[in-house]
């Protein structure tokens, strides 16, 4: 039976996120009504909470779904979209984090080697969670953040929040329990398709449903990036200019093909 990935995400990214989960041989559900999310989360293999285009209804749904995920020991991905430009989102993120800390204190089992919480964001978003004085513009990462500072911030934030950190950019930085991994795969065209960054969070949730480790997060990022590289090349092979529409279609194809081939070779 396929893993069910419960995604409470913004409407801008819902369609692409759902298709990414399907391409990775899992089943997506995008339920966000506060009165049903507890029931649905109980049956899920992973939970994604995306703070993009936030609303009162979605915030309440996230809190209720998170309570079930913590109770049932379901891996959670929190994508801090826009945290660098919105005090509301930043405050809500730390509200969720405080709830997680309280749940952990009440739990008798606290295995720090078992990755149950992934905090995802671009360089600016991750920096804003570490440095409360930092502010960015919009949901895109600012270009003045150097890679070395991102690695340092990611390691420190991982220790502070007792969670895995994924800082996305030209080079993705992943850290957890003193470990640091880097992903260099990807293509600049990916940043031009709305929802691609958010859908990476869904990809991470899908991989964490199978294995709760930093290696699983790395595999999700690497596969995602390679799919972007291959998609660009495939459109070019047809003698066409690469537009965002043709790229997105090719990207979903390549993601599915890579995952299927990886399953055959037991790589993913």
Q: Is residue 252 part of a domain?
A: no
Render pLDDT for 219-236 as a digit per residue (tens, 0 to 9): 999 999 999 999 999 999
Q: Is residue 130 part of a domain?
A: yes
* The residue count for the chain: 268
| Percent over 70 (pLDDT), the chain | 93
Contact at 8 Å (CB) between 23 and 259?
A: yes
The CA distance from 243 to 255, in Å, is 18
With a pLDDT cut of 90, the percent of the chain lying above it is: 84
Answer yes or no: is pLDDT of 109 > 60.
Answer: no
Residue 111 has pLDDT above 80, yes or no: no
Is the separation of the CB atoms in 141 and 122 below 8 Å?
yes
Tell me, yes or no, whether 190 lies in a domain: yes
Confidence band, pLDDT 50/70/90 cuts, at residue 205: very high
Q: Is residue 253 part of a domain?
A: no
Reported as a single tens digit per residue, the pLDDT across 20-42 is 999 999 999 999 999 999 999 99
**Is the per-residue pLDDT at 265 higher than 90?**
no
- State residue 110's pLDDT score: 53
Q: Which CATH number fits the domain that encloses residue 174? A: 3.40.1190.20
pLDDT band at 100 (very low <50, low <70, confident <90, very high): very high
240 within some domain: no
Assess if residue 159 is contained within a domain: yes
Out of 39-48, 65-74, 234-243, least confident range? 234-243
In this predicted structure, the answer to whether residue 103 has a pLDDT above a threshold of 60 is: yes
Note the pLDDT of residue 140: 61
Residue 237 is assigned to a structural domain of this protein:
no
Task: Indicate the pTM of the whole model.
Answer: 0.94
Phi-psi sector, 8: left (phi>0), alpha (psi -120 to 50), beta: beta
pLDDT for residue 112: 53
In whole numbers, what is the pLDDT of the chain averaged over residues?
A: 93
Q: Are strands 76-79 and 164-168 parallel, antiparallel or unpaired?
A: unpaired
Residue 239 within a domain: no
Domains identified in the chain, total number: 1
Q: 139 pLDDT exceeds 60? A: no
Reduced to 3 DSSP states, what percent helix, strand and coil does the chain have, rounded to the nearest 5?
Answer: 55, 15, 35
140-168 pLDDT tens trace: 666 668 889 999 999 999 999 999 999 99
pLDDT tens string 124-138: 999 999 998 887 766
Residues contacting 4, CB < 8 A, separation 6+: 26, 27, 28, 29, 43, 44, 45
Residue 263 has pLDDT above 80, yes or no: no
> β-strand 27-29 against 46-50: which pairing, if any?
unpaired
- What is d(CA 53, CA 12) in angstroms, rounded to the nearest whole number? 8
Query: Could you tell me the residue range of the domain that residue 92 belongs to?
Result: 4-224
Q: Which of 247, 41, 164, 265 is nearest to 49 (CA)?
A: 41
Of 40-54, 67-81, 125-139, give the lowest mean pLDDT range: 125-139
């Amino acid at each position: 039976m396929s893993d069910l990935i419960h995604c409470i995400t913004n409407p801008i990214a819902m369609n692409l996120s759902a298709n990414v989960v399907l391409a990775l041989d899992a089943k997506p559900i995008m339920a966000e009504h506060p009165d049903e999310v507890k029931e649905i989360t109980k049956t899920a293999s992973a939970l994604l909470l995306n703070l993009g285009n936030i609303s009162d209804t979605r915030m309440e749904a996230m809190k209720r779904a998170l309570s079930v995920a913590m109770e049932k020991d379901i891996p959670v991905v929190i994508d801090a979209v826009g945290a660098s430009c919105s005090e509301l989102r930043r405050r809500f993120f730390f509200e969720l984090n405080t709830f997680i800390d309280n749940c952990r204190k009440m739990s008798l089992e606290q295995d720090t080697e078992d990755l149950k919480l992934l905090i995802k964001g671009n360089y600016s978003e991750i920096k804003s969670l570490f440095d409360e004085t930092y502010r960015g513009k919009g949901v895109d990462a600012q270009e003045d953040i150097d890679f070395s500072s991102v690695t340092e911030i990611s390691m420190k934030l991982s220790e502070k929040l007792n969670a895995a950190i994924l800082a996305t950019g030209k080079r993705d930085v992943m850290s957890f329990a003193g470990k640091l991994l880097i992903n260099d795969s990807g293509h600049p065209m990916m940043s031009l398709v709305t929802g691609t960054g958010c859908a990476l969070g869904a990809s991470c949730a899908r991989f964490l449903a199978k294995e709760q480790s930093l290696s699983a997060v790395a595999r999700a990022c690497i596969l995602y990036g390679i799919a972007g590289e291959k998609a660009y090349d495939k459109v070019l092979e047809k003698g066409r200019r690469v537009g965002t529409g043709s790229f997105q279609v090719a990207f979903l194809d390549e993601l599915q093909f890579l995952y299927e081939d990886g399953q055959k070779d037991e790589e993913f």
